[in-house]
Amino acid sequence: MVTEKSSDTVIEQKIDSLLAMMTLDEKIGQMTQVRHFDDISEEDVTSRFIGSIIHTQGPLPGETALEWQAKFTALQKKALATRLGIPLLFGVDAVHGQNTFDGATMFPHNIGLGATGNAELVEKAAAITALESQATGFNWVFSPCIAIPYNEKWGRVYEAFSESTQLTTELTKASVRGYQGILSDSHTVMATAKHFVGDGTTDFGVEGGETSIDANELKKRLLPPYEAAVEHGVGAIMASFNTFSGNPMHAHKALITDTLKEGMGFDGIVVSDWKGYSRFGEHEIVNAGIDMVMAVDGDLDLYQHGLKQAVTDGLVSQNRIDDAVRRILRQKYRLGLFENPFPDSTLVKKIGIPEHREVARQAVRESLVLLKNESNILPLEKETKKIVVVGEHANSTGLQSGGWTVNWQGTSENYKGGTTILQGIEKLAKGTVVFDPDATGNHFDADVAIIAVGEPPYAEFFGDIGHESNELTLTLTEKHQNYINAYVNEGVKVVVLLISGRPLVTTKQIEQSTAFVAAWLPGSEGDGVAEVLFGDYNFKGKLPHSWPSSLEDYNGKYGPNFWDGSIEPLFPFRYGLEY
């Protein structure tokens, strides 16, 4: 039997022999990540010795999963045609399922998984995401995001599990286990813990802004999930866009090399984020410890030539280059890519299968947090004579899924294979169900109104409250407030479902409603929501974030004030009622 130790030794020996044969161009090539479109032609994979290809927003690799596989297989053949035949890593932002593929199983975003608090379920969701990612040709996912969001204004709150370091740490372990399983299996992928570090703790919640927490707090609140990820063998860690005292995290040698690599013993790949090279200091990011650069969107030439020049000029040492390449090759060996470089076509038939959707549906059910249930209006009787379902969020798989769904910024359209909340209600209700998308239908004779309101889909800085690109606020829009007013004013009992990527200031709406449910961003299985509303299952979700009572509470950097008790939330962390 080959023990772990001895297989590690064998891998290191193989790396030694490969490294000894590699030219500087070949090494820099390995340290390069590009998109499969725009950045390169297929021939460039061979001539520039590319190390990794990603798929993000942009032209699809094909229509069907088999076409996606074929596209990546063709690129892999180009890589294998190089002198040394080093296989490519194929990465994708599969952050709540293989969400770039229309028809894949979409899980609740991490904030919803944080509400479940169920590590076993998070592990299963990650394993399914890994399989569906492999089925579409990928061996690497840029997930999990293990940020600790301090400020709900940040547009990426929903990508993270929780404001709690402890809960995030537990779910990080589960997630890494789920994605990576036995790394060399054909249905597992390399995971990426991101974004190292301080992404969620910027002042005022600005994506890529300044993080002004001190070293002790960083150590206590932000590093434990990374320590857990490293202990569980996470293959990659992505650097963050934020700065510390004005210094870009990408160029932060003390944190990347001293703390992460040397201190925690991380032996995998530190990958830059989008255009990290041109944005954050060129060769300085390599010196700080970035091993692979996302040289996308026009950065490829600048990066490959610039880094070569920096090595020639003695600004970057050969040792640093060798260390970076060693880390990349190590992961390629651990993934078994040298033996099995191509995707497994038998996995295609498993994309979006009922067994996967059932796990996603369980996650939806367990993610729902019941904040109010006056006179036990919930669970609803299936025999209720007339139910009016209100709000466009109730009948759109796109709206219920948030950003990073089919498109980077998400979609308001239905996508393939999911069920909407309305469809779930219609399936279970035995009486009349009517749909009133914009609350103009005047169905005031209904016994109950189920009103779905919340946020439009968004991703990254487009979701920051206060960013010039949007009109988002920490409250419901007037339009959505009026959906609730319309029915409450006519004396109809109202069950509010909040579909959002973060807690919103909804104190008044909670008062007005008979029942109020924080549903986060459930993903493709909207019928899971109905199953709980009608009592087929109990509520299990608990708040992954403390819940604001007023906008004032959320001014500035509120995080630590919650923790030191000087601001009292409307509902504390882990609040949640049951039947």
Q: Contact letters (x/-) for ligand BGC, 224-263, by CB under 6 A?
A: ----------------------------------------
User: Under rule CB under 6 A, how many of the chain's residues touch ligand BGC?
Assistant: 7
Nearest Cα residue to 250 out of 308, 291, 219, 202: 291
Which residues is 475 bridged to in the sheet? Answer: 505
Cβ closest to ligand BGC, residue 191 vs residue 433: 191
Contacts with 219 (C-beta within 8 Å, 6 or more apart), sequence order: none
DSSP state of 222: I
Cβ closest to ligand BGC, residue 274 vs residue 573: 274
Tell me: does residue 460 bind ligand BGC (CB under 6 A).
Answer: yes
Crossing angle of the two packed helices 165-180 and 119-135, in degrees rounded to 10: 40
Which residues is 92 bridged to in the sheet? Answer: 55, 141
Tell me: does residue 56 bind ligand BGC (CB under 6 A).
Answer: yes
d(CA 191, CA 177): 9
Residue recorded with tokens 């989008």: 274
Nearest Cα residue to 313 out of 289, 282, 340: 282
- In the complex, the smallest distance separating the C-beta of residue 93 from ligand BGC, rounded to whole angstroms, is 5
Coil vs helix vs strand at 130 = helix
Three-state secondary structure readout of 28-80:
HHHCEEEECCCCCCHHHHHHCCCCEEEECCCCCCCCCHHHHHHHHHHHHHHHH
Burial group, residue 574, by CB count within 10 angstroms (0-12, 13-18, 19+)? middle
Cβ closest to ligand BGC, residue 26 vs residue 93: 93
Q: Write b or e for each residue in 178-190: b if 16 or more Cβ atoms lie within 10 A of its Cβ, otherwise e.
A: bbbbebebebbbb
d(CA 328, CA 322): 10
Cβ–Cβ < 8 Å for 135, 560: no
- In the complex, the smallest distance separating the C-beta of residue 99 from ligand BGC, rounded to whole angstroms, is 11
Cβ closest to ligand BGC, residue 117 vs residue 403: 403
Exactly one of 33, 65, 87, 93 binds ligand BGC (CB under 6 A); that residue is 93
- In the complex, the smallest distance separating the C-beta of residue 375 from ligand BGC, rounded to whole angstroms, is 44
Annotated catalytic residue 231: no
Coil vs helix vs strand at 495 = strand
Exactly one of 142, 179, 534, 547 binds ligand BGC (CB under 6 A); that residue is 142
- In the complex, the smallest distance separating the C-beta of residue 484 from ligand BGC, rounded to whole angstroms, is 34
Cβ closest to ligand BGC, residue 194 vs residue 480: 194
Cβ closest to ligand BGC, residue 26 vs residue 159: 159
Which member of 26, 159, 170, 273 is catalytic? 273
Of residues 471 through 500, those in contact with ligand BGC by CB under 6 A are: none
Q: Contact letters (x/-) for ligand BGC, 409-448, by CB under 6 A?
A: ----------------------------------------
Cβ closest to ligand BGC, residue 251 vs residue 517: 251
What is the amino acid identity at position 266? F
Cβ–Cβ < 8 Å for 260, 294: no
Which residues is 429 bridged to in the sheet? Answer: none
Contacts with 211 (C-beta within 8 Å, 6 or more apart), sequence order: 198, 201, 202, 203, 242, 243, 244, 249
- In the complex, the smallest distance separating the C-beta of residue 427 from ligand BGC, rounded to whole angstroms, is 36
Q: Contact letters (x/-) for ligand BGC, 501-540, by CB under 6 A?
A: ----------------------------------------
Which member of 93, 366, 460, 553 is catalytic? 460
Cβ–Cβ < 8 Å for 480, 391: yes
Tell me: does residue 575 bind ligand BGC (CB under 6 A).
Answer: no
Report the residue count for the chain: 579
CA 383 vs CA 153, 379, 427, 430: distances in Å: 41, 12, 12, 5
Contacts with 215 (C-beta within 8 Å, 6 or more apart), sequence order: none
Residue recorded with tokens 């367990």: 366
Cβ closest to ligand BGC, residue 237 vs residue 316: 237
Exactly one of 39, 170, 273, 291 binds ligand BGC (CB under 6 A); that residue is 273
Of residues 182 through 201, those in contact with ligand BGC by CB under 6 A are: 194
DSSP state of 421: H
Indicate the residue whose CB is closest to ligand BGC: 142
d(CA 71, CA 563): 50
- In the complex, the smallest distance separating the C-beta of residue 469 from ligand BGC, rounded to whole angstroms, is 14
- In the complex, the smallest distance separating the C-beta of residue 438 from ligand BGC, rounded to whole angstroms, is 34
Tell me: does residue 366 bind ligand BGC (CB under 6 A).
Answer: no
- In the complex, the smallest distance separating the C-beta of residue 292 from ligand BGC, rounded to whole angstroms, is 12
d(CA 37, CA 42): 9
- In the complex, the smallest distance separating the C-beta of residue 160 from ligand BGC, rounded to whole angstroms, is 11
Cβ closest to ligand BGC, residue 132 vs residue 273: 273
- In the complex, the smallest distance separating the C-beta of residue 376 from ligand BGC, rounded to whole angstroms, is 42
Cβ closest to ligand BGC, residue 299 vs residue 460: 460
Coil vs helix vs strand at 316 = coil
Cβ closest to ligand BGC, residue 100 vs residue 397: 100
- In the complex, the smallest distance separating the C-beta of residue 181 from ligand BGC, rounded to whole angstroms, is 21
Tell me: does residue 464 bind ligand BGC (CB under 6 A).
Answer: no
Annotated catalytic residue 26: no
Exactly one of 204, 274, 338, 537 binds ligand BGC (CB under 6 A); that residue is 274
Name the residues that contact ligand BGC, by CB under 6 A: 56, 93, 142, 194, 273-274, 460
Query: Mind telling me the catalytic residues?
Result: 273, 460
